[in-house]
Homo-oligomer: A and B are copies of this chain.
Amino acid sequence: MKLYDFELSGSCYKIRLLLNMLDLKCELKSVDFVNKEHKSDAYLALNPFGEIPILEDGDLRLRDAQAILIYLAKKYDASGQWFPDDAASMGRIAQWLSTGGGEIMNAAGARLVKILDYPLDLDKLQAGAHRVFKIMNAHLADRPWLELGHPTIADIACFPYTAMAGEGGIDLTPYPHVLAWIERVKRLPGFIPMPGVPAP
């Protein structure tokens, strides 16, 4: 397998996390995100959306971090823990895949403004991030994981940009249940840190 990867990308980190938790080997192909290699013709030929990550596994090439999480869990998770094979579990988890690729990306955008000076509306992004973290905090008040009572790809999809919210100027102090969940994720077997997401 080959992952088109950028070390500082939370979307790529999601994949590296699940790969490591599933004890899978994968070649990392570094994409020069800062210099916009992901908008080059060569990269756009692999993913016309011009986004990282991409996963290649044999003849299969997949874009979109959430789609890649589904693929890896379905293909390589013999335990069935990460994306259980029943309709209700899949539906419940898929809600949070949408959130991880959707509302939580407000926090990713805020981080891009802060660390790479992207010309985006920081106030709007931070407000959007606070909205979703408030919802997650209430949701996690009486459960340890986002769904099913155990870790799933829902948690993986939502973790990176939540854990790095501070880099976008978003204070998680008002969300103690989110903070506790972040610590739980960090203590999962196979957890790996990244810059901005230190080991516990």
Interface of A toward B, CB cutoff 8 Å: 48-49, 60, 62-64, 66-68, 70-72, 74-75, 85-88, 90-95, 97-99, 101-103, 135, 138-139
Contacts and interface: CB of A to CB of B under 8 A. Distances in A.
Given A48-B135, A49-B103, A135-B48, A87 B75 contact: yes
Contacts of A66: 94, 97-98
A91 B103 contact: no
In the A-B complex, the 4 residue pairs with the closest CB atoms: A71-B91, A75-B87, A67-B94, A74-B87
30 contacts: A49-B99, A49-B103, A60-B91, A62-B92, A63-B95, A64-B94, A64-B95, A64-B99, A66-B94, A66-B97, A67-B91, A67-B92, A67-B93, A67-B97, A70-B87, A70-B91, A70-B94, A71-B87, A71-B88, A71-B90, A74-B87, A74-B90, A74-B91, A75-B87, A75-B88, A85-B85, A94-B97, A98-B101, A101-B101, A102-B102
Nearest to A132: B49
A94 B75 CA distance: 14
